[in-house]
Amino acid sequence: MNTAELAELGQQLRVDSVRAAAAAGSGHPTSSMSAADLMAVFLTNHFRYDFDRPDHPGNDRFVLSKGHASPLLYAAYKAAGAIDDAELLTFRTRGSRLEGHPTPRRLPWVETATGSLGQGLPVGAGIALAGKNLDRVGYRVWVLCGDSELAEGSVWEAAEQASYEHLDNLTAIVDVNRLGQRGPTRHGHDLHAYARRFEAFGWHTVEVDGHDVDAIERAYGEAESTIGRPTVILARTLKGKGVASVQDREGLHGKPLPDPEEAIAELGGPRSLRVHVQEPPAARMLHAVGGGGVLELPRWDKGDEGKSGKGVATRDAFGQALVALGTARGDVVALDGEVGDSTKAELFAKEHPDRYFECYIAEQQMVATAVGLAARGWVPYATTFAAFLTRAYDFVRMASISGAGINLVGSHAGVAIGQDGPSQMGLEDLAMMRAVHGSTVLYPCDPNQTAQLVTQMAGLDGVRYLRTSRGEGPVIYGADEEFPIGGSKVLRSSDRDRLTIVAAGVTVHEALAAADALAEHDIAVRVVDLYSVKPVDRLTLRRAAEDTGCLMTVEDHHEEGGLGDAVLDAFLDGRPVPRLVRLAVRTMPGSASPTEQLHAAGIDAESIAAAGRLLVEEAVVR
């Protein structure tokens, strides 16, 4: 296409954006119109993509970070022949693939769900990292960002990673239309303010008039020819460009145009230009680096006292199991937030350095990278302290909307870590991860159990979370024991049981000791190890409750949203419910030894036994 034709295409994309939003009665046409020329040139001359084969290994990858500009994306799909006009006009209606913000669950051409700003570039950097270091295919990753979202720190985590990793296959296009949702951005049309920042972070920068298609063409060419570092194109644009009544005006974000017919006329009316998007080059995707061996998980003998004499920490078991999994499967990759010596991800780093990505202290970027790697078919395990995964909660939430298959592992669970104090204790992580749609939440107490769960995680759908512990604990399971997801283990059971104690992780060992203590008072207790917190083993819990009449949950987590709440899920079927008691962390811990912490929180064996005795005796009285 020549200059005039490209400009025409830009107008078509504007018209279709206006039409889609008008049909829906909602949406963001003005945010689409500012970027229409950027999109027109990209689609016509630079995007290499087979819409019939979204899984083509050589396809470029496009991420619409400003996800609210979805009308522009869908208008581009129409121009490329991927959808028809009738579908375009289903925008934002129930059952339509064309959601308010695009998601890969519905549309095969979408790489990652956007709509929470400042996430597209982070995930795009993850995809580019896969392209460069794992897939080793020459595709490019293009991310269209808004200017408002550059205020998100996550953008600068991505900027840092992308330059450090020399991601010259990554191009950020920033639609600097100067207006956010509620008013002007901090820097308005000062392109250089943004350029200075990206330059300082090691990027190549290009400043351009975002409505000059020839200048845009040159900018994209410059991005493609820049070696050794990513490029950002900062494009000066006008929100609502092309329609005088809305152009560059405040107060019009996220609203259909007041008079769509007039606006379409002003834009020169509908057009039916069709873009023949370039085919990607033939390519073969690697979906494994090394690997291909037999899975030989580490094994521990029951009663193994480890080096410390106190047993084995589940974080150690995780690290060793991940190494074994990586040896067996070449698609497994690992990431860590600069605490690999604590999470034990460092074991994987030593054994499989080609598949390990150090993310430094940038948890949002770590999770975003995992999402990007998963989008390219890799199986990422991302690790940090459970407490610090809270930093990335919005990314985990969006990963679930993407349907991304990522494994998150949080170490240093609960008060049991001891002296370091509350800032380092994961005490909200179970609640946070359980509330994520479609998630799996696992919490082992034993190294063999940990190894089995680490392996099974890889094959699940959605976000999977494994919680590990800092301190050592006894080995209570054999190496050949199986631990199905959604299952549990009944560790103590008799037909005289008067109480069920449900525990997981460190509290399993406390519960077993409490059961011994209660036995001395002639109170037989059933003990359930609920290693699968979500999905939960309703059948076993229901049966235990019916058999014993009383049920107590014990967790090293705040009382809300964790193990206790998970257990209650078994009793929401409208049938009668047993007597229930929950032990959990109810006070703010300080520094103390692990033993002191468990006692102070009222979740150690002594506390469990005392509460259990009270519950059983009260049940008798009543």
Q: How far is the CB of 577 from its own copies (least distance, A)?
A: 4
| Largest Cα–Cα separation, the chain | 90
526 binds its own copies (CB under 8 A): no
Instruction: Determine if 149 is a binding residue for its own copies (CB under 8 A).
Output: yes
DSSP string, 360-405: -S-HHHHHHHHHHHHHTT-EEEEEEEGGGGGGGHHHHHHHHHHT--
From 577, 482, 497, 581, select the one nearest 532 (Cα to Cα): 482
Shortest CB 149 distance to its own copies, Å? 6
Q: Which is nearer to its own copies, 6 or 567 (CB)?
A: 567
Q: Measured from the CB atom, is 241 or 558 closer to its own copies? A: 558
Position among 212, 394, 547, 606 found at the interface with its own copies (CB under 8 A):
394
455 binds its own copies (CB under 8 A): no
| Positions 566 through 595 that interact with its own copies (CB under 8 A) | 566, 568-569, 571-582, 587-588, 590-593
**Nearest distance from residue 126's CB to its own copies, in Å?**
15
Residue 240 or 418: the one with the smaller Cβ distance to its own copies is 418
575 — phi, psi (to 5°)? -90, 160
What one-character-per-residue DSSP string does 412-470 give?
A: SBSGGG-TT-GGG-BSSHHHHHHTSTT-EEE--SSHHHHHHHHHHHTTSSS-EEEE--S
Q: How far apart are CA 479 and CA 118, in angstroms?
A: 44
Nearer Cβ to its own copies (129/475): 129
236-265 residues in contact with its own copies (CB under 8 A) are 251, 253
118: alpha, beta or left? (left if phi > 0; alpha if psi -120 to 50): left
Closest CB to its own copies among residues 300, 348: 348
SS (H, E, C) 304-323: CCCCCCCCEEHHHHHHHHHH
- Cα-based angle 436, 438, 441 (whole degrees, multiple of 5): 70
Candidate segments 124-132, 223-231, 270-278, 362-370, binder of its own copies by CB under 8 A: 362-370
Among 81, 108, 153, 484, binds its own copies (CB under 8 A): 153
In the complex, the smallest distance separating the C-beta of residue 109 from its own copies, rounded to whole angstroms, is 16
Among 69, 257, 335, 398, binds its own copies (CB under 8 A): 398
Among the listed residues 573, 168, 181, 139, the one whose alpha carbon sits nearest the alpha carbon of residue 375? 139
Q: Which of 534, 540, 541, 601 binds its own copies (CB under 8 A)?
A: 534
CB of 29 to its own copies, least distance (A): 14
Residue among 376 and 558 whose Cβ is closer to its own copies: 558
Stretch of 9-17, 90-98, 133-141, 478-486 lying at the interface with its own copies (CB under 8 A): 90-98
Cα 248 to Cα 20, 363, 455: the distances in Å are 21, 36, 54
Query: Could you give the CA distance from residue 5 to residue 18 in angstroms, rounded to a whole number?
Result: 20
Q: Are the C-beta atoms of residues 585 and 563 closer than 8 Å to each other? A: no
Would you say 40 or 335 has its CB closer to its own copies? 335
Examine residue 565 and tell whether it contacts its own copies (CB under 8 A): yes
Instruction: Answer yes or no whether residue 362 interacts with its own copies by CB under 8 A.
Output: yes
**Which position among 342, 369, 469, 500 is part of the footprint of its own copies (CB under 8 A)?**
342
Residue 422 touches its own copies, criterion: CB under 8 A: yes
Q: Is 610 in the site for its own copies (CB under 8 A)?
A: no
Q: What is the CA radius of gyration of the chain?
A: 27
40 near its own copies, rule: CB under 8 A: no
Spatial distance between the Cα atoms of 248 and 40, rounded to a whole number of angstroms: 20
Site residues for its own copies, 423-442, by CB under 8 A, read 423-424, 427-428, 431-432, 434-438
Q: How many residues bind its own copies (CB under 8 A)?
A: 121
Identify which of residues 434 and 526 has a Cβ nearer to its own copies in the complex.
434
105 binds its own copies (CB under 8 A): yes
Q: Kindly list the catalytic residues.
A: 363
Instruction: Tell me the CA distances in angstroms from 442 to 392, 505, 554, one per residue in order.
Output: 19, 9, 16
Whichever of 10 and 562 has its CB closer to its own copies, that residue is: 562
Smallest separation, CB 240 to its own copies (Å): 17
Q: Taking the alpha carbons of 280, 283, 284, 287 in that order, is the dihedral positive or negative?
A: negative
Print burial letters for 33-48: b (CB count within 10 Å at least 16), e (below 16). Answer: bbbbbbbbbbbbbbbb
First to last CA, the chain: 85
CA dist., res. 357 & res. 409, Å (int)? 15
Least distance (Å) from its own copies to the CB of residue 347? 12
Distance in Å, CB of 43 to its own copies, minimum? 24
Q: Please list the alpha-helical segments (H only) found in 178-309.
A: 191-200, 213-225, 260-266
**79-87, 170-178, 265-273, 414-422 -> range binding its own copies (CB under 8 A):** 414-422
Q: Is 310 in the site for its own copies (CB under 8 A)?
A: no
What residue has token string 């493609």? 224
Contact between 26 and its own copies by CB under 8 A: the answer reads yes
